[in-house]
C-alpha cells in the first residue's frame, strides 16, 4: 500500500510503499511523475521518495490520474497520515477559494470601511485602495501590482487587519530598503496599536527573536534563504500571514536559493499576499513562481499563467493616480573613432559567446559567462575607462589609445548636461548600473555637492551624511546638493525624490525592466503637482548594444502593459534633436535567452 505523509522537519511530503508493491504498475509511473516534475525530489530508498510539500501539492492532479487509472482508493491502495491529511484539506479549501475568485466575489465597501474604523485603522482608503482591498480581503491569497505611490503597503495592512484574528501574526518578506516603510505605515494606519515590526536578522539571533513570539515580523529575502527552516518551523506552529514585498524577486523560481526558500513556505501561511509594481520584468514566466507561492494547489505554465493570475490581482495605475505624463528624450551620440574600433572587436567576442550559450547543453555556466561579457560591453559604451585590463581579448595598444581619447561621449554628455541643469537651479538624478561610474560622476561633480548611492552605502541614521538616508536628506534639504548619482539595483526601491527633483539622466541601462521602471518612479510618483513637468533623458551610442537594450526594454514593458491592461507603462522615448542641447555633437545585466537572440540579430545587422 502507498503511504503519503508530511515530514515537518524539512517540510516534505514522503511517498513510500512496501517492497512487494514494487511490481505494481503504478509504482514506476508514480516515481517518474515525481522525479520528472520536481528537481528537488529525493529517492530516499528503493521504495520511498520525498519532495517539498508545495511541489507535492502542485502534482496532485497527476497523482489523482494515477489513482483513478489503477483504482487506488483511500484505505484501499493508499493511505494518508494525519498531518498530510490536514494540509491537503487546507489545500482543497484554498483551491475552492480560487474558484470563487473566478466568480468575482468581493467585500461590501461600506462594511469594509466600517470595520476598519471600528478597529482603529485611521487612514482613510482612497476609492482605488478600497476597490483593491475589497477584492484582496475576499481571497486567501492575492496580488497587488499597483504602481509606486499608489499605497500598496496601506492596502496590504488594511487587508491583514480586516482578515486577521487578534492572535494571528504577519511576516513580511521584503528588500532591506523597504523595512522603514512598513514601520512608518503601521504607525500611521493603526496608531493606537503602538506596533512596530521586529526585524529578523543576525543569523542565530533570529531564533531568540522568534522565541518572544512577535506579532509583526520583517525579514530580507537573502536572510530568509539562510534560515528558511527556522522560519518554516515558526510558521508551522503559529497562525501567520505572509506577504512578499517586491515579489518579482522570486521570479527565478527553483533556480535560486532565495526563491526556493520562499516557495518552501507556501503551504504554511493562513493568508498570503504578493506585492510588486513590476511583476514580470522579463517575461510572462516571471509570474509562475509568484502565482505558485499564492496557489501551489493550482498547476500553471507559461501558457496559462496570465489567465491564472488575472482573477486574483489588483492594480492602480498612474492614470488613476492623476499623475502628469513624463517626457522622455532619447539622446543619441556617436562613439569616438578608436572606441568604435575596439567595440567592434569586443562585439565579435560577445557574439561568439552568445552563440555558444544558446547551443550549450549545460546552459547555465555559459549563460553566466555571457552575462559578464555583455556587462563589459555595456560598461565600455558608457565609460571606456571602466574596463582597463579586464579586456583580455582586446589589443592592449588599442585600449591605451581609446583611453587617451578621454571619458567617452556618453559620460562627457552627462557631466556637461548635469552642470547645465544645475546652472538653471534644477536638481538632477543621474543613473548608472555600474558602481565605478556612480562614484566617478559624483567625484567629478563634487563642486555641485553631488552625493551617491550604490550597494555599499549602508542604511542608517539620516543625520549621518555617509548613510543612504543621510544622502537622501542632503539631496532633499541642502540647496548646494544639486546632483544625486545612483545605481538602479540599489536605489530603485524605497526612495522618493519627486518633491525636489524633476529631471533624470540615464548614462546606461541594462536589460532589467524592473530596475528601469522603478528607478523612473523615484521622481514620477503620487504627490506631483498636475502642472509639474518630469523629464527623463536616455543617453545611448548609435549602432551599439544600447539600441538592443532599448528594443528589449520596450518589448518587456509593452508586454507587461498588455498583461496588466495598463497603457501608462508604455515608455517609448522620443529622439532629442541636436539643437535642443548645446554641444550635442561632442562626444546588469537582466539578460534572457530572447535578449541574446536580439543581440545576435543586431550584431549581424551592424556587420552587414
- pLDDT tens track for 16-67: 999 888 889 999 999 889 888 776 788 888 889 998 787 787 787 788 899 9
End-to-end CA distance of the chain: 67
Residue 307 dihedral angles phi and psi, to the nearest 5°: -65, -35
Cell of 334: 556617436
Same domain, 170 and 286: yes
Give every CB contact of residue 604 below 8 A, 6+ residues apart in sequence: none
Same domain, 76 and 113: no
Residue 119 has pLDDT above 50, yes or no: yes
- pLDDT tens track for 435-450: 999 999 999 999 999 9
Structural domain contains residue 88: no
The domain total for the chain is: 3
What pLDDT shows up at residue 363? Answer: 56
Question: What is the Cβ-side half-sphere exposure of residue 597, based on CA atoms within 13 angstroms?
Answer: 5
Give every CB contact of residue 466 below 8 A, 6+ residues apart in sequence: 457, 460
Same domain, 51 and 146: no
Same domain, 340 and 223: no
What pLDDT shows up at residue 585? Answer: 31
**Cα separations in angstroms, 223 against 154, 169, 236, 302:** 25, 19, 19, 29
Q: Are 507 and 410 in contact (CB under 8 A)?
A: yes
Same domain, 255 and 300: yes
Same domain, 500 and 468: yes
Same domain, 214 and 302: yes
**Within 10 Å of residue 504's Cβ, how many Cβ atoms?**
24
Torsion of CA 306, 308, 314, 319, to 10 degrees: 20
Can you say how many angstroms the Cα of residue 575 is from the centroid of all Cα atoms in its chain? 29
What pLDDT shows up at residue 578? Answer: 38
Domain boundary among 80, 110, 133: 80
Q: What CATH number is associated with residue 427?
A: 3.40.50.300
Q: Are 276 and 142 in contact (CB under 8 A)?
A: no
Residue 296 confidence class, pLDDT cut points 50, 70, 90: confident
**Within 10 Å of residue 332's Cβ, how many Cβ atoms?**
18
- pLDDT tens track for 126-145: 999 999 999 999 998 999 99
The model's pTM: 0.75
| Residue corresponding to grid cell 483551491 | 95
Domain boundary among 297, 316, 335: 316
Same domain, 335 and 310: no
* Across 507-515, average pLDDT: 91
Structural domain contains residue 349: yes
Same domain, 358 and 479: yes
Name the H helices within 59-107: 60-69, 82-102
Q: What CATH number is associated with residue 187?
A: 3.40.50.10810
**Within 10 Å of residue 268's Cβ, how many Cβ atoms?**
24
What pLDDT shows up at residue 278? Answer: 86
Domain boundary among 316, 351, 369: 316
Residue 567 dihedral angles phi and psi, to the nearest 5°: -70, -15
* DSSP secondary structure letters along 250-290: GTTGGGSHHHHHHHTTTTS-SEEEEE-S-S-SS-GGGHHHH
Question: What is the Cβ-side half-sphere exposure of residue 439, based on CA atoms within 13 angstroms?
Answer: 8
Rounded Cα distance, 172 and 186, in Å: 12
Same domain, 312 and 341: no
Same domain, 343 and 215: no
Same domain, 54 and 157: no
For 129, the domain range is 97-316
**Cα separations in angstroms, 53 against 37, 450, 590:** 13, 51, 31
Rounded Cα distance, 34 and 30, in Å: 6
What average pLDDT is seen over the chain? 86
Amino acid at each position: 500500500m502507498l503511504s503519503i505523509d508530511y515530514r515537518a522537519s524539512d517540510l516534505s511530503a514522503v511517498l513510500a510503499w512496501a517492497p512487494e508493491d514494487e511490481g505494481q504498475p503504478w509504482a514506476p509511473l508514480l516515481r517518474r511523475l515525481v522525479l520528472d516534475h520536481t528537481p528537488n525530489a529525493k529517492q530516499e530508498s528503493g521504495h520511498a521518495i520525498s519532495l517539498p510539500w508545495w511541489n507535492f501539492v502542485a502534482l496532485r492532479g497527476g497523482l489523482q490520474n494515477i489513482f483513478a487509472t489503477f483504482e487506488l482508493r483511500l484505505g484501499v491502495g493508499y493511505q494518508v497520515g494525519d498531518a498530510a491529511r490536514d494540509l491537503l484539506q487546507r489545500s482543497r479549501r484554498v483551491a475552492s477559494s480560487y474558484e470563487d475568485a473566478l466568480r468575482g466575489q468581493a467585500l461590501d465597501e461600506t462594511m469594509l470601511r466600517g470595520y476598519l474604523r471600528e478597529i482603529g485603522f485611521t487612514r482613510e482608503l482612497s476609492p482605488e485602495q478600497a476597490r483593491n482591498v475589497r477584492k484582496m480581503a475576499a481571497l486567501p491569497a492575492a496580488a497587488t501590482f499597483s504602481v509606486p505611490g499608489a499605497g500598496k503597503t496601506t492596502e496590504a495592512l488594511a487587508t491583514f487587519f480586516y482578515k486577521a484574528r487578534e492572535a494571528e501574526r504577519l511576516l513580511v518578506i521584503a528588500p532591506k530598503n523597504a523595512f522603514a516603510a512598513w514601520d512608518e505605515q503601521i504607525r500611521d494606519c493603526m496608531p493606537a496599536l503602538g506596533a512596530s515590526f521586529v526585524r529578523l536578522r543576525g543569523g542565530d539571533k533570529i531564533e531568540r527573536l522568534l522565541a518572544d513570539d512577535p506579532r509583526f515580523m520583517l525579514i530580507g529575502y537573502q536572510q530568509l534563504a539562510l534560515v528558511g527552516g527556522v522560519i518554516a518551523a515558526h510558521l508551522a506552529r503559529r497562525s501567520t500571514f505572509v506577504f512578499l514585498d517586491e515579489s518579482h524577486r522570486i521570479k527565478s523560481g527553483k533556480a535560486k536559493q532565495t526563491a526556493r526558500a520562499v516557495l518552501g513556505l507556501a503551504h504554511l501561511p493562513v493568508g498570503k499576499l504578493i506585492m510588486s509594481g513590476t511583476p514580470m520584468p522579463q517575461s510572462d514566466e516571471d509570474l509562475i513562481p509568484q502565482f505558485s507561492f499564492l496557489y501551489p494547489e493550482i498547476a500553471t505554465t507559461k501558457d496559462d499563467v496570465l489567465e491564472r493570475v488575472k482573477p486574483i490581482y489588483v492594480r492602480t495605475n498612474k492614470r488613476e493616480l492623476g499623475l502628469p505624463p513624463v517626457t522622455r528624450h532619447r539622446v543619441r551620440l556617436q562613439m569616438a573613432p578608436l572606441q568604435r574600433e575596439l567595440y567592434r572587436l569586443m562585439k565579435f567576442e560577445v557574439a561568439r559567446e552568445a552563440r555558444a550559450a544558446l547551443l550549450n547543453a549545460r546552459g547555465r555556466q555559459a549563460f553566466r559567462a555571457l552575462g559578464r561579457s555583455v556587462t563589459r560591453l555595456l560598461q565600455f559604451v558608457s565609460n571606456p575607462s571602466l574596463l582597463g585590463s579586464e579586456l583580455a581579448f582586446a589589443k592592449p595598444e588599442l585600449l591605451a589609445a581609446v583611453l587617451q581619447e578621454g571619458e567617452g561621449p556618453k559620460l562627457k554628455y552627462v557631466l556637461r548636461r548635469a552642470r547645465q541643469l544645475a546652472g538653471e537651479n534644477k536638481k538632477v538624478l543621474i543613473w548608472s548600473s555600474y558602481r565605478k561610474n556612480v562614484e566617478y560622476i559624483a567625484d567629478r561633480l563634487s563642486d555641485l555637492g553631488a552625493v551617491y548611492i550604490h550597494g555599499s552605502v549602508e542604511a542608517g541614521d539620516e543625520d549621518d551624511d555617509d548613510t543612504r538616508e543621510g544622502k537622501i536628506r542632503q539631496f532633499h534639504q541642502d540647496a548646494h546638493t544639486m546632483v544625486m548619482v545612483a545605481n538602479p539595483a540599489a536605489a530603485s526601491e524605497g526612495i522618493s525624490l519627486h518633491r525636489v527633483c524633476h529631471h533624470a539622466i540615464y548614462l546606461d541601462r541594462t536589460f532589467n525592466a524592473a530596475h528601469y521602471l522603478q528607478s523612473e518612479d523615484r521622481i514620477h510618483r503620487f504627490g506631483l503637482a498636475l502642472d509639474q513637468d518630469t523629464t527623463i533623458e536616455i543617453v545611448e551610442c548609435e549602432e551599439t548594444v544600447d539600441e538592443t537594450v532599448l528594443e528589449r526594454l520596450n518589448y518587456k514593458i509593452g508586454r507587461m502593459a498588455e498583461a496588466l491592461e495598463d497603457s501608462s507603462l508604455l515608455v517609448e522615448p522620443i529622439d532629442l534633436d541636436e539643437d535642443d542641447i548645446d554641444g550635442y555633437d561632442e562626444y546588469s545585466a537582466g539578460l534572457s535567452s530572447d535578449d541574446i537572440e536580439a543581440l545576435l540579430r543586431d550584431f549581424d545587422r551592424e556587420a552587414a
